[in-house]
């Protein structure tokens, strides 16, 4: 992403982070060296794995976490001059390690480890969590849909069902998890996600007159502009007639037809039979309309070539929050931990490894103290999970890009034991062992 003219991200935060900063500067504790960790205590109900997403966006946002005059004007309403002066010069100078973007995670996985003094780390909490929680939720939902789509084309169409500024991030996370394209053009521009889209029902209705339904005129217009490979929306009036008209106008080489309503399984079978009878044996069938992983799984046996997914991918009903938290786990080398009921944390800076069989199937994740010895893998293969992301405030140059993260998700899905891909509720796909 080109951040040359990117706006400051410093106010994408909560006020209590800056009031904590002011108090720490006042009592002298601001410079104490600390480690904060990001982890999820549990997976959302029904989920057996999570997907780390948003790391690339987070690092871009970190580079723009600067307090200029406009940001300081807001903070001046509740902060003292000493704190404002500190914020004016703020640059994160610590280290960050994390799971690779696109890696799977499980309950307790130390997804991100942020080290530096208390002041420079505490102000990043909301920025980190808002990006990772959002993108990881979308990516996990998308990965489940991709896993049951059986290799068929997946198009993200959720822009109109989420916040306009969140839509590009949703498209990026979905693409990272295995979707093939997005309808959101800002995601195309900003992240290089392939774009897709043809027409809506409004375009067909535009060509209707008082004397009837003129699908042929709408289809002909679309074909003239977009070519024979385009996809025609055939369910505005009557699907059977719509398909007949589409092939009459376009011929048997039409790229595709889209169905956006009704009993999609039944309609897909009927449309396939009709297309084949008309000689359009290579015309693809695209279905859309409130699809989620369960309805996609239910359509696996049907002659569907591509899915368009929106609402269930970008909203909380389909992509429940990842539930990640940002907790202080070490101060001046001494482990600290929260003991609140149901909100416990484990003290100390940690590392993690994942064990797998020779076949590549993962069997266990082990989280262990960073100061301790690396666990013995025994007969299993071992992979270190945390990699350097930031060193002395500078972003590591060789961090993976979006395509590498996309590949990592794909490899992660096939590495899960078979029960880890079930859509039914159950335990996490692999156990996590915590060493003291």
Q: What is the pLDDT of residues 230-266, one digit of tens each?
A: 999 999 999 999 999 999 999 999 999 999 999 999 9
How buried is 217 (Cβ within 10 angstroms: 0-12 exposed, 13-18 middle, 19+ buried)?
Answer: middle
Backbone angles phi, psi at 103, to 5 degrees: -75, 155
Is the per-residue pLDDT at 132 higher than 60?
yes
Instruction: Give the whole-angstrom CA distance, residue 159 versus residue 171.
Output: 8
Structure tokens at 227: 């070519």
pLDDT value at 51 more than 90 = yes
Confidence of residue 399 (pLDDT cuts 50, 70, 90): confident
CA-CA distance, 289 to 308, in Å (whole number)?
Answer: 7
Q: Which domains, from first to last, does the chain contain?
A: 15-139+320-434 (3.20.140.10), 198-315 (3.20.20.70)
Which pLDDT does position 415 carry in this prediction? 97
Distance CA 191, CA 402 (A): 8
pLDDT of 2 > 60? The answer is no
If one counts every other C-beta atom within 10 angstroms of the C-beta of residue 335, the result is 17
Please state, as a whole number, how many other Cβ atoms lie within 10 Å of the Cβ of residue 332.
Answer: 9
pTM score: 0.94
């Amino acid at each position: 992403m080109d951040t040359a003219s990117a706006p400051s991200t410093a106010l994408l935060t909560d006020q209590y982070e800056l009031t904590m900063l002011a108090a720490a500067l006042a009592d002298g504790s601001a410079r104490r060296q600390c480690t904060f960790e990001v982890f999820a205590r549990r997976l959302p109900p029904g989920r057996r794995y999570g997907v780390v997403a948003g790391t690339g966006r987070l690092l871009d946002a970190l580079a723009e976490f600067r307090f200029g005059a406009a940001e300081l004007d807001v903070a001046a309403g509740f902060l003292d001059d000493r704190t404002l002066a500190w914020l004016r010069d703020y640059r994160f100078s610590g280290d960050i390690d994390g799971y690779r973007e696109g890696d799977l995670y499980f309950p307790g996985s130390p997804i991100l480890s942020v080290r530096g003094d208390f002041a420079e780390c505490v102000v990043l909490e909301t920025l980190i969590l808002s990006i990772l929680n959002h993108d990881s939720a979308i990516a996990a939902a998308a990965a489940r849909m991709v896993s049951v789509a059986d290799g068929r084309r997946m198009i993200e169409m959720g822009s109109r069902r989420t916040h306009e500024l969140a839509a590009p991030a949703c498209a990026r996370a979905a693409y990272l998890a295995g979707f093939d394209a997005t309808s959101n053009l800002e995601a195309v521009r900003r992240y290089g996600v392939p774009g897709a889209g043809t027409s809506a029902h409004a375009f067909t209705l535009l060509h209707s007159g008082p004397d009837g339904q003129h699908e042929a005129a709408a289809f002909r217009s679309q074909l003239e502009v977009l070519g024979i490979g385009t996809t025609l929306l055939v369910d505005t009036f009557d699907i059977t007639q719509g398909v007949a008209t589409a092939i009459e106008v376009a011929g048997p080489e039409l790229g595709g037809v889209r169905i956006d309503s009704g009993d999609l399984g039944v309609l897909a079978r009927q449309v396939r039979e009709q297309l084949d009878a008309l000689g359009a044996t290579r015309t693809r069938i695209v279905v859309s309309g409130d699809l989620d992983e369960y309805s996609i799984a239910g359509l696996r046996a049907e002659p569907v070539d591509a899915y368009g997914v929106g609402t269930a991918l970008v909203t909380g009903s389909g992509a429940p929050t990842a539930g990640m938290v940002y907790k202080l786990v070490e101060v001046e080398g001494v482990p600290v931990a929260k003991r609140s009921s149901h909100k416990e944390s484990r003290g100390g800076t940690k590392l993690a490894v994942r064990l797998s069989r020779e076949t590549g199937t993962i069997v266990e994740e082990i989280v262990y103290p960073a100061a301790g010895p690396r666990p013995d893998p025994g007969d299993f293969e071992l992979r270190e999970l945390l990699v350097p992301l930031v060193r002395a405030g500078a972003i590591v140059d060789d961090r993976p890009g979006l395509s590498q993260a996309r590949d990592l998700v794909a490899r992660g899905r096939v590495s899960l034991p078979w029960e880890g891909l079930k859509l039914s509720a159950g335990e996490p796909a692999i156990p996590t062992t915590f060493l003291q």
